[in-house]
């Protein structure tokens, strides 16, 4: 799996979200091959494992246990694509109200095998409201930096 990612991503200098998603969808038997890269939660409420990084791209495997959410966050200057490998995902999209507060503006549902896309500047929260763990593989370009966490504006 890592060889495929290195070969495909190493050639992409400024990929768009569709190209990132295509690289993820091309991984044969990903549901079986991803298992060694899935990490249990440590510092966060969810498991996070950076499995590939080069100058232009980064791949992160996320495991959200049942009934778990990420923080409300952005991806800095990065764009991205996420492939749901196992489970179901709710992607809640927010709009910034102030520098640190955001309100929810939309929600999208994704099932196994579906891609979700993260545009530059998008503020969102990944939610697993189901009893089974969620495994997600995300590709970003450029690699994540300067991400920001928001609080919910009630």
CA distance 38 to 54: 20
- Predicted TM-score (pTM) of the model is 0.93
2-152: CATH number: 2.60.120.10
Where b means 16+ CB within 10 Å and e means fewer, 105-136 reads: eeeeebeeeebbbbeeebbbbbbbeeeebbbb
Q: What is the pLDDT of residue 79?
A: 97
Q: What is the pLDDT of residue 43?
A: 84
Q: Provide block-wise average pLDDT over 10 residues at a time, the chain (154 residues).
A: 82 91 94 95 92 94 96 96 97 95 96 97 96 96 95 88
**Residue extents of the structural domains in the chain:** 2-152
């Amino acid at each position: 799996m890592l060889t495929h990612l290195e070969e495909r991503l190493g050639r992409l200098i400024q990929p768009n979200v569709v190209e990132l998603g295509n690289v993820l969808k091309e991984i044969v038997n990903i549901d079986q091959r991803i298992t060694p890269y899935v990490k249990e939660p440590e510092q966060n409420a969810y498991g996070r494992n950076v499995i590939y990084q080069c100058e232009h791209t980064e791949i992160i495997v996320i495991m959200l246990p049942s009934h778990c959410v990420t923080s409300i966050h952005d991806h800095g200057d990065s764009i991205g694509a996420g492939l749901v490998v196992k489970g179901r995902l709710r992607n809640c999209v927010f709009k910034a109200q102030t520098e640190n507060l955001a309100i929810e503006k939309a929600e999208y549902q994704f099932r196994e095998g579906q891609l979700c896309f993260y545009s530059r500047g998008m503020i969102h929260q990944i939610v697993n409201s189901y009893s089974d763990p969620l495994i997600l593989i995300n590709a970003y370009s450029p690699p994540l930096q300067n991400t920001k966490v928001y609080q919910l504006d009630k």
